[in-house]
Amino acid sequence: MNWPLQCSRSASRSLHGQSHNVTKRTPLSQQELEEKLDDILVAALSSRRSAAAIAAGIAPLSRAQQDFVLSWAQVAAHNVAELGYQFTAQAPQALALLGQPGTEKWLLRALDVYDKQGLYPACAALKDLVGYKRGSDAAGEGVALAGVARVLELFLRGLSGRRLLLEAADDTWTDTEIIYLPGRIARYPAREQNFRLYKAIAVHHWAQARYGSFNIELGPVLADYPVPERALAWLNLLEAIRLEARMGRGFAGLAALLAALRPELPASLVPVHGRFLRADSSVADSVLLLREFYSLPLPEPFPYMGSLHPQRAAQVRGERIAKERRALYTELTQLRLKLQAGRAEAQEGEPELDAESSLETLEFELQADGEAVAPPEEVAKLLRSIIQDFGEIPEEYLLASGPGAYAAEAPPQGESAGGPAETRAAGGRLYDEWDFRRRDYRKDWCVLFESEALAGDPAYVAAVRARYAGRIAQLRRRFEALRGENRLARRQHEGDDIDFDAAVEAHADRRSGIEPSERLFVQRRRSERNIAVMFMVDMSGSTKGWINACEREALVLLCEALEALGDRYAIYGFSGWTRKRCEIYRIKTFDDSYDEAVRGRIAGVEPRDYTRMGVAIRHLAGILNQVEAKTRILFTLSDGKPDDFHDGYRGEYGIEDTRQALIEARRSGIHPFCVTIDEEARDYLPHMYGPASWVLIDDAGQLPLKTAEVYRRLTS
């Protein structure tokens, strides 16, 4: 199994432009190629499908190109053999069409499709070489949604309105909470233009939610027409014109963006645009106009327009309305109670609420018995969302009686499985993962869940402290010696106070005709240890038994020592079961003090599943980076290599991903350090952590005492 490693290394050589000495070598013969391909593609070959034809295709290529094809075939086949097969079958043609860098991009994109959609669409992507070529020609520089999603999400959030999530999909549309957009846009040659189109799509669909395109039931309206699809297409177009006009009132720049991307309006539609410029134009106006236009020939849709899915949007809107009405009722009941308590004299009945609102600005004024009240942020958010759904705040929403029956209902449980937007809604966080074979990240590959660790035996920590009492006292003394203290620096040029000794001396010097010193001040200097350390504890199944016991003891001793030292520290455990369920357990956050609850959670540290380290490092580094400290340390306690169940994380892939995560952490100013008890650690730890950033403790029994000692050395 040495071959993939060598192969990928040679790939990296040839791809990094150091291939000149390779090119001089003679090409492999068809026979040799077939042997190698047999090896790589073994799982995709059968008695009816041999590597001979492929080898024949590759044989005429130069040796450098052959090496290139073989190494990337290895990468592709590593995901699934069939992809390798498809790739090699297409490779000669791809090289001719796209050149070497283009071929690499083409394959990487197919691998991305494989990650997201599976084998069949990935093979289809590989086969559609001509389509890809056309796309990438026009594209020059396409834009991937993943690369711009954050900018666009922030942008939309800034525009006001309900928070919208973006998700890649084949069809472009919105259900009023998620906007589905193409995963990649390569319509124009320049990146800039493609981004503008993305922005236009996002803005157009944001406007549908913001200005209520789905605020009336469209199903029956459309059903009235002989061809509902045609009516829908016309409605989509009329709405696009309305939304653009509507935006033009407040967001001149947005309207200009959309107008620049669409073709000139046909003469029949120009007056429509004018009619929509009114402040209160709504989807109902579009529905009215639909009657007029239905039978006219349909113009070309605008490039940023997607489809309308009135039924699906109505469903999401309906669920939201029910949910928000309940929530508002609960919040307003609270608000009423508060207002009533605040009343000067006893008034009859509950305060009557009233509201003025504007869809244009999403502003509203809430009044109780005629006086303005400032609602809590939660209420304000609900009201803003409600204004978007109704164009105003319906009066019955503010009645004290409220939807009593609703309030009693439990909120509906969301379904958890789904795309990234839903994952985030379920509380998981998505992280990229490094694929060393592709030398690129797999986007949003891991789903991470953070939760509080379960508490264990409350008496455990006390028992450990009793057992190590002597050593703990010793540790504390040594750590106390490191503690920063206020120090007076004497004879300074400037400072907090006069250094009277120096002043008197200077005075005397002057009297006796000697030039006096100018250093007459004392300065109070605090040599602060401004350190924050994150302990990342391996809770994988392999720590079971003795090792886990030592880990827990090590944690107790570390806590005791750090309490003496005063450094800020946090402890998190990590484990996981495949990329879809990476777990982080909070044992002690930076804000927690070392109290009963924390001690209980330390006692509860126990072996769980696997060691997917990269995602844990990325997550914890993120937490650590929020702490204000001069020095930030990520301190890992581990018992072995990164490993995970089933999906190929074990071995080089996991090591390289972990290494990449550590590089990212280091780039953000974190010092990673690792204490391990794995005897093989010398083989991989220097590669992951760098030469001086790890310690191997060969006897697990030594872990408790040595770990604290290692930390002391590290920070003094």
What are the residues binding other proteins (CB under 8 A)? 150-152, 154-155, 157-160, 199, 203, 250-254, 257, 361, 496-498, 503, 506-507, 510, 518, 520, 524, 591, 628
CB of 56 to other proteins, least distance (A): 48
Nearer of residues 60 and 342 to other proteins, judged by Cβ? 342
Nearer to other proteins, 162 or 579 (CB): 162
Nearer to other proteins, 159 or 482 (CB): 159
Instruction: Work out how close the CB of 206 gets to other proteins at its nearest, in angstroms, rounded to a whole number.
Output: 11
Minimum distance from CB of 165 to other proteins (Å)? 12
Comparing C-alpha atoms, which of 587, 609, 589, 546 is closest to residue 455? 587
Q: How far apart are CB 37 and other proteins at their closest, in Å?
A: 43
CA distance 104 to 101: 5
Total Cβ atoms within 10 A of residue 623: 17
CA dihedral 27, 29, 30, 33 (to 10 degrees): -70
Angle between helical axes of 63-79 and 81-117 (0-180°, round to 10): 60
CB 637 within 8 A of CB 707: yes
Burial category of 587 from C-beta neighbours within 10 Å (exposed 0-12, middle 13-18, buried 19 and up): buried
Q: Find out whether 391 and 213 touch, Cβ atoms under 8 Å.
A: no
Q: Closer CB to other proteins, residue 198 or residue 276?
A: 198
DSSP 513: T
CA distance 554 to 605: 12
* Cβ proximity to other proteins, 142 vs 654, nearer residue: 142
Q: How far is the CB of 507 from other proteins (least distance, A)?
A: 7
Nearer to other proteins, 477 or 510 (CB): 510
Q: Is the dihedral of CA 597, 629, 614, 684 positive or negative?
A: negative
Cα separation, 83 vs 76, whole angstroms = 6
Judge contact between 33 and 58, C-beta under 8 A: yes
For the four alpha carbons of 326, 331, 337 and 339, in that order, the dihedral sign comes to negative
Name the residue nearer to other proteins (CB basis): 469 or 498: 498
Nearest-5° angle of CA 332, CA 333, CA 336?
80
Q: How many CB atoms lie within 10 A of CB 334?
A: 13
> Comparing C-alpha atoms, which of 636, 627, 478, 484 is closest to residue 566?
484
Nearer to other proteins, 436 or 590 (CB): 590
Order of all β-strands in the sheet with 178-181 = 165-168, 178-181, 173-174
Q: Work out how close the CB of 158 gets to other proteins at its nearest, in angstroms, rounded to a whole number.
A: 4
Cβ proximity to other proteins, 97 vs 159, nearer residue: 159
Strands 631-638 and 486-492: unpaired
Strand, helix or coil at 50?
coil
Taking the complex as a whole, how short is the minimal distance between the CB of residue 210 and other proteins, in angstroms?
Answer: 12
Helix-helix angle 30-40:63-79, to 10 degrees: 20
Pick the closer one to other proteins by CB: 64 or 506: 506
How many angstroms separate the CA atoms of 160 and 156, rounded?
Answer: 7
Least distance in angstroms from the C-beta of 515 to other proteins: 9
Query: Least Å distance between CB 187 and other proteins?
Result: 19
**Residue (155 or 436) nearer to other proteins, CB:** 155
Q: How far is the CB of 501 from other proteins (least distance, A)?
A: 13
- Give min distance, CB of 532 to other proteins, in A: 11
With beta carbons less than 8 A apart as the criterion, state whether 84 and 77 touch.
yes
Tell me the closest approach of the beta carbon of residue 304 to other proteins, in angstroms: 15
State which residue, 292 or 497, has the beta carbon closest to other proteins: 497
Indicate the burial class of 437 (C-beta count within 10 angstroms; 0-12, 13-18, 19 or more): buried
What tokens were used for 663? 């590089």
